[in-house]
Amino acid sequence: MNNIIQKINQTFTLKAKQKNENQLRVDVDKNLVSSVLLYLKTQLGFIHLNHISCVDWIEDNEFELVYIVWDPENKITVLVHTRIDRSNPVMENIDTIWDQANTYEREMREMFGIEFPGLVGAKEFILEDWQEIPPMRKDFDTAAYAEKTYQKRPGRENARDVREELMKRTGEELPDFAKKYSRD
């Protein structure tokens, strides 16, 4: 573990740190990501790409991308974090390193609107004929959209707190243990 941290830190002058007994985290500049991942894969034996995730930090106007790679020999996971600009999200395409990264990137392009230059694959992956902003962005309001688009069956609008609604209908008292778990 310490060996790996040292190697990453020396090669790229980074600050990798241990998260728990078999995970370590490293924060990387956007331009370095592909070199770090390639180094992890070819030199240190992290040949399995676990996951690529994206988090919308709307307060900072940034997207955080997390690449998770795993070493089957030493059973160690590395989480490579990077942040990109939210107003003009462009990220390097890494599907030449791992082919299945293509799937993640297609999903991120659709769900967050991040562009990956040179990414192969149909524009539509999950959604069909989507006309709003990319739906996984924080500023997209799913409830308002559902309200506007889909017809609701009457009766659901009062059901915000089912217990109160049922109490009103049946005239029963709310039991004491339930009062403890009220919404407010």
Contact residues for another protein (CB under 8 A)?
Answer: 20, 22-23, 47-51, 53-56, 66, 68, 72, 75, 77, 79, 98-100, 102-103, 124-129, 131-132, 135-136, 138, 140, 142-143, 145-146, 149-153, 155-156, 180-183
Minimum Å gap between C-beta 102 and another protein is 7
Nearest CB to another protein, comparing residues 13 and 123: 123
User: How far apart are the C-alpha atoms of 172 and 167, rounded to whole Å?
Assistant: 5
Minimum Å gap between C-beta 10 and another protein is 25
Minimum Å gap between C-beta 163 and another protein is 12
User: How far apart are the C-alpha atoms of 116 and 15, rounded to whole Å?
Assistant: 27
DSSP conformation letters of 130-147: --SS-TTSTT--HHHHHH
**Which tokens sit at 133?**
């902003």
Nearest CB to another protein, comparing residues 9 and 103: 103
* Dihedral Cα 108, 26, 11, 43, nearest 10 deg: -60
Half-sphere exposure for 167 (CA within 13 Å, toward CB): 10
Contact 89, 114 (CB under 8 A): yes
Minimum Å gap between C-beta 124 and another protein is 8
The one-character DSSP state at 121 is S
Nearest CB to another protein, comparing residues 6 and 42: 42
Nearest CB to another protein, comparing residues 2 and 20: 20
Minimum Å gap between C-beta 20 and another protein is 8
Nearest CB to another protein, comparing residues 6 and 100: 100
